[in-house]
Amino acid sequence: MRDKGGFRALWYRRSGSHRPSTFGTVVACEVTQEVTPRPVSARPRALVIDDSDDTREVYAVVLQLEGFTVEGANDGQEGFQKAVELLPDIIITDLSMPVMDGWETIRRLRADDRTRHIPIIACSGNDAPSGTHYPWADAVLAKPCPLDTLLLEVRQLLRRGAAA
């Protein structure tokens, strides 16, 4: 599926019981139609901050299939630096990470004029339950996060930002 840093799979369909809903099932996506890729400069950019290589990879694959350019960071400090440098359209971050945790990363992103407007989704297996409102994050999802739920949140936050 991978081709020198990019992904060849540009299409998929979620249907019935074959929906990708956890990390292990993303490769079970059914190919149905080809999508003409947009130029890289026209694609929305997502930044995924997580100390788990597997989580970053799964989120990157799913977001790339949805037409995003995806950058990754291993911890909050690296994520904050990349956010300031790249100014992504959306940030997805874990909350429990070494060096700088997700809460501190989000706090710094919100305090910086360059990044305070970027929608942030926080995902965590043990720090916060889904559906709970936190003033710093735009959405908080429990891990393992169903991929269709993650994509729904991403779309909603980007639409909300475009309407503002």
Is residue 15 domain-resident? no
Q: Decide if pLDDT at 16 tops 60.
A: no
- For residue 142, name the pLDDT band (cuts at 50, 70, 90): confident
Is residue 65 domain-resident? yes
Is residue 103 domain-resident? yes
pLDDT attached to residue 62 = 95
Is residue 37 domain-resident? no
Q: What percent of the chain has pLDDT over 70?
A: 66
Structurally, how many domains does the chain consist of? 1
User: Which residue type sits at 39?
Assistant: P
Q: Are 86 and 40 in contact (CB under 8 A)?
A: no
At 154, which CATH number? 3.40.50.2300
- Lowest-confidence pick of 41-50, 54-63, 110-119: 41-50
Is residue 71 domain-resident? yes
Is residue 30 domain-resident? no
Q: Are 106 and 77 in contact (CB under 8 A)?
A: no
Facing residues of 141 across strands?
Answer: 123
Is residue 143 domain-resident? yes
- For residue 27, name the pLDDT band (cuts at 50, 70, 90): very low
Q: Tell me how far apart the alpha carbons of residues 66 and 147 are, in angstroms, rounded to a whole number.
A: 12
Task: Give the domain extent around 120.
Answer: 43-163
- 3-state percent helix, strand, coil for the chain, nearest multiple of 5: 40, 20, 45
Q: Decide if pLDDT at 20 tops 50.
A: no
Is residue 120 domain-resident? yes
